[in-house]
Amino acid sequence: MGGIKNVRQILESMCDLFAECAIECVDAMFGKESELKMPWQVVEQLQAQFDRLLTMGSGNEEFSALTCAGIQYDSLDAFVEEENISTEYAADILGEFVNNYCGLLSSKDVFKDNFGQHIQAVPILYSDGQSFLPFIWGVQGYIYIGDHWMYIGYTIRDNITRSNNKF
Amino acid sequence: MSKSVIIVDDSIFAMRTLTDFFTEVMEFEVVATGENGTEAVELYEKYKPDLLVLDLIMPVMDGIEALEAIKKCHPDASVIVVTAMRDSEELQKSIELGASGYIEKPLRFNKPEYKELFKKRINDALK
């Protein structure tokens, strides 16, 4: 960790790790096998148009990050096998998922070597609304259980150089 | 007679998972549950359970503050902390404050190897 880095290049080298952690997290939390139907990729702005979108900030002195989990109304049932999940419970499940996902990422040496240990902030759930996330390079992708999917995005920038800002 | 446990976690999902594990696998009696550190302190005073399971990151009062308050009055309290940040300063501090062990999130109770590991940690915490 330390020094000026091209965060976008680091994220590109870690795309598979972000995807693997998502699959590991679904298996650990819900006891279900999920799959990728397409590779995860680095994008200049994370997506934000979902029925439910949970975001959680994290970071340390050097980096600020944002983790997002997005899902459609009927998809969460496939992950947790419960019906009629309330908005409050959906927020709880997505918040716990993001919390655990960030914990898993932080346990990987390659993540720690590049970004250090992060402290997590309070998660926020957006429901039924349109959200706009900042133009900062990030990794995003989908994991599937059958035809149901969950979106996960992770964006991070260097606090000092802000070298990962698109603008 | 089964051991008593209080579980404190601000996540409903985690609470349900922990409650299922302690009742079905450990065969403990869950005497109370709470959602923050203040409730942890109050519930511990009321029930004085054999074991307290305490999430570290919570609103109102976090797990570290709750652990410190409980240990101050009950140095022999058996407390297991729960956290997703396994290398964090908070986890290290909780051990220094006298936590008897920890369980890392995600709670992989559906995996036999983790189930056995956590059973051992919990039993060690009660010694």
CB of A121 within 8 Å of any CB in chain B?
no
**Confidence band for A166, pLDDT divided at 50, 70 and 90:** very low
Is the Cβ pair A103, B14 closer than 8 Å? Answer: no
Q: Do B83 and A103 touch (CB under 8 A)?
A: yes
**3-state DSSP helix/strand/coil percent for chain B, to nearest 5?**
45, 20, 35
Give contacts of B12 with chain A, Cβ < 8 Å. Answer: 89, 92
Q: Where are the beta strands (DSSP E) in chain A?
A: 41-43, 52-59, 63-71, 119-120, 124-127, 138-145, 148-158
Q: Residues B100, B77: contact at Cβ < 8 Å?
A: no
Distances (CA, A) of B36 to A93, B16, B91, B102: 17, 15, 17, 17
Q: Report the candidate in A71, A96, A84, A70 with the shortest Cα–Cα distance to residue A154.
A: A70
Total structural domains in chain B? 1
Distance to chain B for A11, nearest Cα, Å: 21
**Euclidean distance between CA atoms A121 and A56, whole angstroms:** 6
Mean pLDDT of chain B: 93
CA–CA gap between residue B121 and residue B101 (Å, rounded): 6
- Mean pLDDT across the stretch A35-51? 91
Interface mutation vs chain A, best among B12, B86, B92, most A CBs within 10 Å:
B12
**Domains of chain A and any CATH numbers:** 7-158 (3.40.1550.10)
The CATH number of residue B109's host domain is 3.40.50.2300
Where is pLDDT greater, at A86 or B31?
Answer: B31
Confidence label for B64 from pLDDT (cuts 50, 70 and 90): very high
Q: Position of tokens 């049932």? A: A77
- Rg over alpha carbons for chain B, rounded to the nearest Å, is 13
ipTM: 0.89
Distance from CA of B108 to the nearest CA of A (A): 5
What residues make up the domain containing B14? 4-125
Nearest residue in B to A122, CA atom: B59
| pLDDT (average), residues A116-136 | 83
